Amino acid sequence: MEKQIIIEALFPEIANLFGDRMNINYLKACLPEAEFIDTCLTDEPAFVNQPVSMIYMGSMTESQQELVINVLRPYREKLMELIDNGCIFLMTGNAMEIFESYIENEDGSRVNGLEIFPTYARRDMMHRYNSLVLGEYEGIKLVGFKAQFSHSYGDNSNQHFYKVVRGCGINPSSMLEGLKRNHFFGTYTVGPFLLLNPLFVKYLLTLLGAKKRQLAHEDTIMAAYRKRLLEFENEKLKYQ
Amino acid sequence: MKKNLRFLSALFISKTAMFTQKLFGMNASYFPGKLAIKLCPDFLGRIDKPETIISVTGTNGKTTVCNMIIDALTANGYDVLSNRAGSNINAGVASALISGCTISGKAKKRVAVFEIDERSSKLIYPYVRPTYAVCTNLFRDSIHRNAHPEFIFHIISESLPKESHLILNADDLISAGLAPENARTYFSIAPMNTDLPESINIINDMRICPNCHHTLDYRYVRYHHIGNAHCPSCGFASPESDYAALPDFETGTLTITHHGDTEQYPLVTNSIFNTYNQVTAITLLREFGLSAGQIREAFSSLNIVESRYSSETVNGVEIITHMAKGQNPIACSCVFDYVKKEPGQKEIILMLDDVFDRIASSEIMTWIYDADFEFLNDDSISRIIISGVRCEDYKLRLLLAGVPEDKLICVSKEIDAPDYLRFDGTDKVFILHELYAADEAMKVRDKTAARLQNFEGRA
């Protein structure tokens, strides 16, 4: 009997800033038999009391990051246990920073994170960083968009999500994007990361143990991906 | 700030530049101001300003509101200085002030109306201190530049001078909280039978209480977070309005209740979106000191400029071009909702690619997942021709919105799109185009019209 897939989306009422929510909608389209749970800020997360296959969280505002850190702090040990046990996490945009050591403001003040990863983030609210990014993870070429006020610093050489081919990683000097431990995937790439990367969705479906690995609207999503990849691989393309 | 030699030199040079640009038929609404600020960084602080300054900012509707205010003031005999013809950043405001002052920098007019770009507030408000500061609303906009509404909120709120009297939308719980220590007047639209119990849009950036973070209860919603809400946990709620409007779209009247008195105005629009714009303008004009009669008279001959809209009927089919501001999910969602609600059977041509990004870069497409393409999943829409480089992205978005695949056609060149129209029972063809694709949209419209002229299949 196939294992029931349960996907929990954390705080969709706020963590959906750049179309991130559509990652969940697309998974729903690919996995019609999976169970999806939306957990609001005032709810106890489902992962506390029941097994979940995957936890997703998207981009949010800076003040909401602080709110989310406070809401999740009581569950830090549980989150670490889930990561260690191979639960899939996908964090897009600045949701990744929640799991870092701290977030530093321009004035030097710090917001303590969940301290699950040793890296830290630094905000610069007057300088928005916008860029395209092209990378590679386990042979899968990944494309994405970045639009952010903060970058991460520290050593992610053993805990990065993917190697950057063009664009930048967790900060403008890095070519290693995001954070990864077991099946925890964190990336600054904002918004519809899965819709931009159908091959990674297939990889995810395999990790989830999905019986069918046919993508929803496969022809169209692959055509969009191939066209974008061709553009991103063009050396003349402006990344910023 | 006093006028020093540096300022006077900058003023002289920028006035000369303005004169020269005008001599050659150029638009002198940006460069002279830019030059003046380059030569004298605090130029805006040193130049004389009109006695009364009205500023209008906000994500959507600020141009329309500015136009209404300027037209109404002009109709009532005021000689108004404005940046209507040009840029809404600091250089545009400086250009307007340069055009409205003498060679010694003395203001020639007593009233100014400036449209202010939200992000430019911090560069403008320290020097140009509005008597009345209007904010239409705050929504998500371009993620490159505006990031998110909370970021824009803080920029505006922290830049507004303490003495500015704010004109704010009580139905927008984001902008309603701007600069809490400033004096303010709120407007709203009273409950209507078309109101919804909750937002049906993808984006609602006011879902939780800013104080206790519980989910807000909406008494009614117009679109996105525009409506009336309260927190069942801590009592936080939409503010009471000073001007409560009630539109009657059938009779074309707008009734406004203010301090217990009722005033009636001609309604200049049939959309809720522009009704908010009109109520914003009326509230400002009443606070400015015009009587209801003066405003009513001005609005009786006022039309909303439809430069972003055109309509012609060929062989019984109406061809409508409508700007759908790309990268702005709210503006596009409003247009999609409008198209859905228009009567008749429709075919749509989408041409939403960012014309600049596609020249040298690859457009950031996150915004299409914030826009309500679901509104285009409607029986009255028989076909959607998606044109441009990003056609597969839009097709995927429309498929996820539930639009049947057999209704969707992708073409890479916009000008080829009319070739795929079928006119099979079609009453209206909508050409929805990006802001900077207006010229191409006109070519697509003309080609559509030419096809219809020769089309014999229609009864």
Structure tokens at B137: 């609303």
Alpha carbon of B222: minimum distance to chain A alpha carbons (Å): 19
Tokens at A149, concatenated: 């006020």
Question: Does A237 contact B361 at a Cβ distance shorter than 8 Å?
Answer: yes
Please state, as a whole number, how many other Cβ atoms lie within 10 Å of the Cβ of residue A25: 20
The phi, psi pair for B160, rounded to 5°, reads -65, 130
Q: Is the pLDDT of residue A96 over 80?
A: yes
- Give yes or no for a contact between B57 and B100, defined as CB atoms under 8 angstroms apart: no
Least confident segment among A36-40, B142-146, B157-161: B142-146
Check A42 against B213: CB less than 8 A apart.
yes
Asked whether residue A237 is domain-assigned, the answer is no
Cβ–Cβ of B147/A128 closer than 8 Å? yes
Q: How far from chain centre, in Å, is Cα B429? A: 24
A239 within domain boundaries: no
- Compute the distance between CA of residue B218 and CA of residue B204 in angstroms, rounded to an integer: 11
The per-residue pLDDT for B459 is: 43
Chains A, B: CB contacts within 8 A come to 94
Residue A240: inside a domain: no
User: Comparing B5-187+240-300 with B309-453, is the CATH topology the same?
Assistant: no
Q: Show the CA angle centred on residue B344, arms to residues B338 and B348, nearest 5°.
A: 60
Average pLDDT over residues B399-422: 97
> Residues B11-52: pLDDT tens digits?
999 999 999 999 998 988 899 999 999 999 999 999 999 999
Q: Are B68 and B125 in contact (CB under 8 A)?
A: no
* CATH number reported for the structural domain that contains residue A117 in this entry: 3.40.50.880
Q: What's the average model confidence in pLDDT over B292-296?
A: 97
A205–chain B nearest CA distance, Å: 18
Please, are residues B386 and B409 in contact by the beta-carbon 8 Å criterion? yes
Annotated domain spans of chain B: 5-187+240-300, 309-453
**Which ipTM did the prediction report?**
0.96
Radius of gyration of chain A (CA): 17
For residue B374, CA distances in Å to A17, A155, B243, B333 come to 18, 43, 34, 9
Residues of A in contact with B399 (CB under 8 A): 217, 220
Domain range B5-187+240-300, CATH architecture:
3-Layer(aba) Sandwich (3.40)
What mean pLDDT do residues A134-154 have? 97
Q: Looking at the 3D structure of chain A, how many domains does it have?
A: 1
Return the pLDDT at A34.
96
pTM of the model: 0.92
Domain spanning B309-453, CATH architecture = Alpha-Beta Complex (3.90)
Integer Cα distance of B389 and B396 in angstroms: 14
d(CA B430, CA A229): 31
* Per-residue pLDDT at A240: 83
Of B150, B360, B366, the CB nearest to A191: B366
Q: Is B255 strand, coil or helix?
A: strand
Q: Is residue A238 part of a domain?
A: no
Of A142, A199, A224, whose CA–CA distance to B395 is shortest?
A224
**pLDDT digits 0-9 by tens, A148-192:** 999 999 999 999 999 999 999 999 999 999 999 999 999 999 999
The reply to whether residue A41 touches residue B395, judged by beta carbons under 8 angstroms, is: no
Question: What per-residue confidence (pLDDT) applies to B306?
Answer: 58
Helix pair B292-300, B62-75: axis angle to 10 deg: 110
Does the distance separating the beta carbons of B362 and A25 come in below 8 Å?
A: no
Q: Do B215 and A13 touch (CB under 8 A)?
A: yes
Is B360 a residue whose pLDDT tops 90?
Answer: no
Residue B353 has pLDDT above 50, yes or no: yes
Q: What would the mean pLDDT of B92-97 be, rounded to a whole number?
A: 96
The band of B454, judged by pLDDT with boundaries at 50, 70 and 90, is confident
pLDDT for res A161: 98
DSSP state of B71: H
Sheet containing strand A150-153, edge to edge, reads A110-112, A102-104, A120-123, A150-153
Q: Is residue A74 one of the residues assigned to a domain?
A: yes
Is residue B113 predicted with pLDDT exceeding 50? Answer: yes
For the cut 70, the answer to whether the pLDDT of residue B307 exceeds it is: no
Collect all residues of chain B within an 8 Å Cβ-Cβ radius of residue A19: 366-370
- A138 within domain boundaries: yes
For the segment B89-96, the average pLDDT, to the nearest whole number, is 95
What DSSP assignment string belongs to B186-197?
EEEE---TT-BS
In which band, very low, low, confident or very high, does the pLDDT at A3 lie, cut at 50, 70 and 90?
confident
Specify burial of residue B456 (Cβ count, 10 A radius: 0-12, 13-18, 19+): exposed
